[in-house]
């Protein structure tokens, strides 16, 4: 019996049938995919994190022990579990234990705070929350206690120590392993992924096993993943670039080795690359720049690196050209979105393509439309709005039918919100953005969410948050604030504004980098705030 989760819009049956027939969706659950590999290469190393090293057999056993532990707590198929963990060794076993049971993880970022976690718990009616006691100075054990006390749905919290171990993990691992078997179907929703977001509240994306794994298989092919791959994961594990483009799922599928790092800075990762002979990784542009510009580069042997994928934000052509020259690795640009579509440049493409394009879709079934403001297709090569539909791309968010009507067309195309142009071979170049979102070095911020919090400040009359150009991050967040009459404007410093937002439980990466107090906002002819004028304003 298929799992029915309310608030999920699937693909129409004729599309689903075609994607299955054409092998774009695969007849496997996440857990089956993993155990296929466990059976094939039990003694190969699957995961390395710090001092922990797990073979595929050991990983499989941990998954089944943890699954037994979760099942003993009553967690089963269709139950939503908010998982908020940094890139620790237990990440993959814990998440796959939930997959084995057919439970539906909501994959939150370690950087999230009270605000985001409470939203996910409420929206998904989560039965459990799984986290570490603290991360980057934020008290997640306290958050877990608060949620346990106040949430009407959360029956269990599991709090690991800071390094992702400790007694609660041991207690789960002490269970006798379950037998691996099919407890969910490939067509079931596998997990809920975060959207970058453009509105006041976070959106969750329901991905099925078959669709998400299908997109991973496509990416693994163009990404050249094999059993010999040693993949370094520095981006947050829940990010779709880290998961399936081709990501650690691609590595698990191929029987490759995954090396986890909790951050991507050269001092953390160069030693790991040297020690484990890392062959590939995925980076956002600021990290790629940090690697290129690091004085540590000469001190480590990085010659094992064959492929460096860069995506999540626009990677400039000059920096792009340096990857091959200075790191001796092939650059593979990737453009994608958690909602589904992902594109890649080929590994054997010419220099011009690799440095100036963000890639092309992985199959012809990924439909691409480039349109004007009235949804009319523009001539090929002309910039326009990207609309897409296909086997990787969902048809709606989780439980937000009204929002869906604005971001999906009647015939199921997703309005990505990016401005692109497409060349005659199908390669896309990202030339701008139409959606109200800030891309802070790959981290996505919804201005409306931050503005709503700022409007709650007693000294704020009005707030507008925009992205302003930044050499390293691409964009930084700037808040323009109109003080409230009679309020205390001296509270509206950068530090004051940031600590106000932090106290409201907003994730650190969403806090403004700059604050400017102004009398009024520039407006458009239509009388709306002109964010364009604010983005380009000179200080
Ligand atoms: C310009 N903008 C880009 C790029 C994403 C693979 C790769 C990336 C993501 C991702 C992903 C860009 N150049 N190369 O999910 O599987 C901006 C666009 C896009 C938004 C999506 C994957 N790569 N972007 O970044 O959901 O604006 O996914 O719409 O986090 O990031 O962000 P996100």
Q: What is residue 192's predicted lDDT score, i.e. its pLDDT?
A: 98
Q: With a 6 A CB cut-off, is 464 part of the ligand 1 pocket?
A: no
- Ligand 1: residue whose CA is nearest its atom 33: 337
What pLDDT score does 539 carry? 67
Give Cα separations from 488 to 28, 465, 485, 492 (angstroms): 59, 20, 8, 8
Q: Cα dist. 421→307, 337, 366, 396 in Å?
A: 25, 17, 16, 25
Complex ipTM > 0.95: yes
- 458 Cα–ligand 1 center, Å: 36
- The tokens describing 423, both together, are 């060349």
Q: Ligand 1, from 311, 340, 383: best to mutate by most atoms within 8 Å of Cβ?
A: 311
Distance between Cα 417 and ligand 1 center (Å)? 11
Helix (H, G, I), strand (E, B) or coil at 379: coil
Residue whose CA lies nearest to ligand 1 atom number 3? 313
**Overall fold of domain 30-39+53-184:** Rossmann fold (3.40.50)
475 lines ligand 1 (CB under 6 A): no
3-state secondary structure 45-102: EEEEECCEEEEHHHHHHHHHHHHHHHHHCCCCCCCEEEEECCCCCCHHHHHHHHHHHC
CATH fold match for the domains 30-39+53-184 and 438-536: no
Ligand 1: centre distance to CA 337 (Å): 5
* 475-508 burial: b if 16+ Cβ within 10 Å, else e: bbbbbbbbbbeeeeeebbeeebbbebbeeebbbe
What is the sign of the dihedral through the CA atoms of 482, 488, 490 and 494?
A: negative
- pLDDT score of 537: 85
Q: Which residues contact 307 (CB under 8 A, 6 or more apart)?
A: 223, 224, 279, 280, 281, 329, 330, 332, 347
**Strand ranges, E, within 165-225:** 189-194, 204-208
Closest ligand 1 atom to residue 243 Cα is 16
Residue position matching structure tokens 């790629």: 288
Mutate to test the pocket of ligand 1, among 109, 211, 245, 337 (most ligand atoms within 8 A of CB): 337
Question: Does residue 191 have its Cβ closer than 6 Å to ligand 1?
Answer: no
- Note the pLDDT of residue 424: 97
- State whether the beta carbon of 443 lies less than 6 angstroms from ligand 1: no
Q: Is 362 in the pocket of ligand 1 (CB under 6 A)?
A: no
Q: For the chain, what are the domain ranges?
A: 30-39+53-184, 438-536
Span from the CA of 314 to the centroid of ligand 1 (angstroms)? 8
Place of tokens 């994730």: 507
C-beta separation of 123 from 399 below 8 A? yes
* Residue 296: CB atoms within 10 Å: 14
Is the CB of 67 inside a 6 Å radius of any atom of ligand 1?
A: no
* Nearest protein CA to atom 28 of ligand 1, as residue: 337
Query: Class for domain 438-536, per CATH?
Result: alpha beta
Q: What is the pLDDT along the chain (539 residues), one digit of tens a residue?
A: 999 999 999 999 999 999 999 999 999 999 999 999 999 999 999 999 999 999 999 999 999 999 999 999 999 999 999 999 999 999 999 999 999 999 999 999 999 999 999 999 999 999 999 999 999 999 999 999 999 999 999 999 999 999 999 999 999 999 999 999 999 999 999 999 999 989 989 999 999 999 999 999 999 999 999 999 999 999 999 999 999 999 999 999 999 999 999 999 999 999 999 999 999 999 999 999 999 999 999 999 999 999 999 999 999 999 999 999 999 999 999 999 999 999 999 999 999 999 999 999 999 999 999 999 999 999 999 999 999 999 999 999 999 999 999 999 999 999 999 999 999 999 999 999 999 999 999 999 999 999 999 999 999 999 999 999 999 999 999 999 999 998 888 999 999 999 999 999 999 999 999 999 999 999 988 888 999 899 988 76
Confirm or reject: Cβ of 385 under 6 Å from ligand 1. no
DSSP assignments along 346-362, one per residue: -TT--HHHHHH--BEES
Confirm if 210 and 218 have CB atoms less than 8 A apart. Answer: no
Of ligand 1's atoms, which has the minimum distance to the CA of residue 416? 29
For the Cβ of 336 lying below 6 angstroms from any atom of ligand 1, the answer is yes
- How close is the Cα of 311 to the center of ligand 1, in Å? 6
Residue pair 147/157 in contact by the 8 Å Cβ criterion: yes
């Amino acid at each position: 019996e298929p799992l029915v989760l309310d608030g999920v819009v699937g693909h129409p049956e004729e599309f689903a049938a075609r994607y299955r027939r054409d092998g774009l969706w695969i007849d496997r659950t996440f857990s089956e995919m993993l155990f296929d590999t466990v059976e094939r290469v039990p003694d190969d190393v699957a995961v390395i994190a710090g001092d922990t090293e797990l073979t595929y057999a050991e990983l499989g056993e941990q998954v089944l022990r943890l699954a037994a532990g979760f099942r003993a707590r009553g967690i089963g198929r269709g139950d939503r579990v908010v998982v908020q963990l940094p890139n620790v060794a237990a990440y993959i076993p814990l998440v796959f234990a939930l997959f084995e049971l057919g439970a539906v993880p909501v994959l939150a970022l370690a950087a999230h705070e009270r605000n985001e976690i409470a939203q996910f718990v409420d929206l998904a009616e989560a039965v459990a929350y799984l986290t570490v006691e603290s991360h980057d100075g934020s008290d997640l054990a306290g958050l877990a206690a608060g949620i346990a006390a106040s949430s009407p749905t959360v029956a269990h919290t599991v709090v690991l120590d800071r390094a992702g171990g400790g007694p609660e993990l041991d207690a789960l691992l002490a269970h006798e392993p379950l037998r691996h078997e099919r407890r969910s179907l490939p067509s079931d929703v596998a997990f809920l992924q975060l959207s970058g977001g453009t509105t006041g509240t976070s959106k969750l994306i329901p991905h099925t096993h078959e669709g998400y794994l299908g997109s991973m298989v496509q990416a693994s092919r163009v990404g050249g993943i094999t059993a010999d791959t040693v993949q370094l994961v520095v981006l947050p594990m829940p990010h779709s670039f880290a998961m399936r483009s081709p990501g650690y799922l691609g590595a698990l599928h191929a029987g490759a080795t995954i090396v986890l790092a909790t951050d991507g800075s050269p001092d953390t990762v160069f030693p790991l690359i040297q020690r484990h002979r890392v062959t590939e990784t995925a980076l956002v542009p600021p990290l790629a720049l940090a690697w290129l510009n690091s004085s540590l580069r000469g001190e480590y042997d990085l010659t094992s690196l064959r492929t460096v994928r860069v995506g999540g934000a626009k990677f400039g052509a000059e920096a792009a050209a340096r990857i091959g020259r200075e790191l001796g690795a092939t650059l593979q640009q990737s453009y994608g979105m958690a909602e589904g579509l992902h594109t890649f440049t080929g590994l054997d493409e010419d220099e011009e393509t690799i440095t100036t394009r963000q890639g092309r879709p992985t199959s012809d079934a990924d439909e691409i439309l480039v349109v004007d403001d009235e949804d009319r297709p523009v001539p090929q090569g002309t910039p326009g709005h990207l609309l897409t539909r296909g086997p990787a791309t969902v048809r709606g968010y989780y439980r937000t039918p009204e929002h869906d009507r604005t971001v999906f067309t009647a015939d199921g195309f997703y309005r990505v919100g990016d401005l692109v142009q497409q060349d005659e071979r199908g390669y896309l170049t990202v030339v701008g953005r139409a959606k109200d979102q800030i891309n802070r070095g790959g981290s996505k911020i919804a201005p409306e969410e931050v503005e709503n919090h700022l409007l709650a400040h007693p000294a704020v009359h009005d707030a507008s948050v925009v992205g302003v150009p930044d050499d390293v991050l691409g964009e930084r967040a700037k808040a323009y604030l109109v003080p409230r009459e009679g309020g205390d404007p001296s509270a509206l410093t950068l530090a004051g504004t940031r600590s106000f937002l932090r106290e409201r439980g907003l994730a650190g990466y969403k806090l403004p980098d700059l604050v400017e107090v102004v009398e009024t906002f520039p407006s458009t002819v239509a009388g709306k705030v002109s964010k364009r004028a604010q983005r380009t304003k000179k200080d």
